[in-house]
Each structure stands twice: as structure tokens, then as C-alpha cells.
Amino acid sequence: MPDPASAPLWVQARERLAAAQSVAVLTGAGISAESGIPTFRGAGGLWNNYRPEDLATPQAFSRDPRLVWEWYNWRRETIAKAVPNPAHRALVKLETAKPQFTLITQNVDGLHDLAGSGRILKLHGDIWRLRCTSCGAHWPDRRAPLPKLPPHCGCGGLARPGVVWFGEPLPDGMMQEAEHAAAEAEVFLVIGTSAVVYPAAGLVPFAKQSGATVIEINPEQTAFSAMADFSFQEPAGELLPKLVS
Ligand code: OAD
């Protein structure tokens, strides 16, 4: 009988994942990298060329809504060309196999929806939704490019992207739900995030302290790699389908 501890690490992680009844997943921009969407940090990251305080804060939007919208319009055009990759699809498969499953994402690109994931906790909102800064109405809009910048609401108010900017609170109650899932999870998967933006990043140590087996997938090391039970420095689109097979 072979000793299970001598199996390759990815096989051990696959077995741990297969045995879990309750799984939570935190994804970041890296899961969409293989779909052709730039990440924020690291090689080719958006924040190497743009300053978040000029484009992703409420102050930036008050100062120059058109500039902010031009940047979001450009991102919408890039994202509109992208399709889900094997990592997004593997999470759909995992969801159908688990009695308790929660997908928590920092991504606003909508690729988890396109892949067919069920309910998604979108901590940082959704680039395909717009919100009125006057009346608070919000609505979906998948046009890319938008025909007129900046867009307006039916009430005449200025519309903004339906995303969370630096300095803004997360959508009501969502972080509590994410924490609940992290606390309940037997396995917590951390995929494609640099895990430097809080409060989302805090879910990783929280899940670990709550007893979850933490499995990280990221070609680069992060501040949480050492704490993870398994840390795979590989592209998610290659490894994740193997872990859920
Ligand atoms: P980051 O751009 O900070 O991190 C992306 C991570 O994905 C990096 O650690 C990469 O090493 C990793 N990565 C790259 N290619 C990968 C691949 N093929 N498979 C797996 N991982 C890969 O993105 P986030 O952590 O999502 O917030 O950033 C968090 C937040 O900061 C974003 O939601 C956004 C940003 O500013 C707001 O805009 C509020």
C-alpha cells in the first residue's frame, strides 16, 4: 500500500479537496490572466502604468468623471473580448460537486458568471453594472464601448461604474457572508490574488485560523504562501482542472 504522504503534493491537495463537504474560494485578477485580462500588480499589471488614486477612488471620479470613465470604458472593451478559461470552468464543476460551496471574488470582470458559476460574492462589484450617483438606481449595461461618456441615468444623474473603489465600503453584508463561508470551509482555495487588498485578503488567515486547509494557486509567492497548507506556483488554468478532476 503506497504511503499517501509520498504522493505528489497536487495529488494530496486533490484528495483533500475531494474529501471536503464544504469549500470556499477566493479569486483575484490572476484567475482571468489566462483569459487575456491584465492583472493589477506584477508583470504587465495595470498599476505599473496607472495610479489607482487617479482612477479608482471616489475623489478621482468627482475630480474628472470623464477620465475615470475613459479608463473603465477601455477595460470594458478589453474584458468584452475575453472568455472564461479552464480555471473558471473548474470552479463551476467544483460547485456542482459540493454540498456547501461559496465563491468569493475580487474580480469585476464577470467571467465567473459567463463560465456558469452560481451565486458569486462580488466583493469589489461588477464592471458590467452602472449606478446613479443621484438617485442610487443601478442597472446592467454590457455595451463596450459605451456610446457616450460619461453615461447618465434616466433621472439625469451622472452614472458611475458599479465597482468598489479604494476607500469605499464593500457591498452591504457581503464581507460577513464571506467570513461565514471562510469559517465553515474545510478547504479554502486562494486563486490568483496578490492578497494585499483588505478586507478581502484577511479571509485567508481567517480561514486558516478557523481550521480550513488552505490551498493557494499563484505563479508568484504571496504574503500567505508560507501559511498555506499547499502553495502551488503554477498558472490556475493548468493546475485547477487537475485538482478538481
Ligand atoms: P493583483 O493584480 O494584485 O494580483 C494578481 C495575482 O495573480 C498576482 O499575485 C499574480 O502573481 C497572480 N497571477 C498571474 N497570473 C496567474 C495565473 N495564470 N494563475 C494564477 N495566478 C496568477 O490582483 P488582485 O489580488 O485581484 O481592487 O487585486 C486585488 C484588488 O486590487 C483588485 O480587486 C482591485 C485591485 O486594485 C479594486 O480596484 C478595488
Q: Domain check: are 52 and 8 in the same one?
A: no
Mean pLDDT of 21-42: 97
Segment 151-187, tens digit of pLDDT = 999 999 999 999 999 999 999 999 999 999 999 999 9
Domain of 71, CATH number, reads 3.30.1600.10
Q: Domain check: are 8 and 112 in the same one?
A: yes
Q: Domain check: are 71 and 132 in the same one?
A: yes
pTM of the model: 0.97
Over 80: is that where the pLDDT of 5 sits? no
Atom 38 of ligand 1: nearest residue by CA position: 165
Q: Domain check: are 189 and 223 in the same one?
A: yes
pLDDT: is 1 or 29 the higher one? 29
Instruction: Give residue 6's pLDDT.
Output: 80
Q: Domain check: are 202 and 242 in the same one?
A: yes
Mean pLDDT of 77-91: 98
Best probe residue, ligand 1, of 220, 222, 224, 234 (max atoms within 8 Å of C-beta) = 220
Measure 191 CA to ligand 1 centroid, in angstroms: 9
What total number of domains does the chain contain? 2
Domain of 16, CATH number, reads 3.40.50.1220
Give the residue numbers annotated as catalytic, written as ranges. Answer: 124
Atom 21 of ligand 1: nearest residue by CA position: 192
Output phi, psi for 128, to 5 deg: -90, 10
Instruction: Give residue 3's pLDDT.
Output: 65
CA-CA distance, 223 to 74, in Å (whole number)? 31
Q: Where are the alpha helices (DSSP H) in 187-235?
A: 203-209
Measure 144 CA to ligand 1 centroid, in angstroms: 23
Over 60: is that where the pLDDT of 215 sits? yes
Residues spanned by the domain of 216? 1-37+83-124+170-245
Query: Is the CB of residue 192 less than 8 Å from the CB of residue 218?
Result: yes
Report the chain's mean pLDDT, rounded to a whole number: 96
Around ligand 1, the residues with Cβ closer than 6 Å are 28-30, 33-34, 39-42, 45, 52, 56, 106, 124, 164, 166, 192-194, 197, 217-220, 222, 235-237
Q: Domain check: are 27 and 44 in the same one?
A: no
Q: Domain check: are 153 and 177 in the same one?
A: no
Confidence of residue 2 (pLDDT cuts 50, 70, 90): low
**49's grid cell:** 502604468
Confidence of residue 83 (pLDDT cuts 50, 70, 90): very high
Q: Domain check: are 132 and 227 in the same one?
A: no
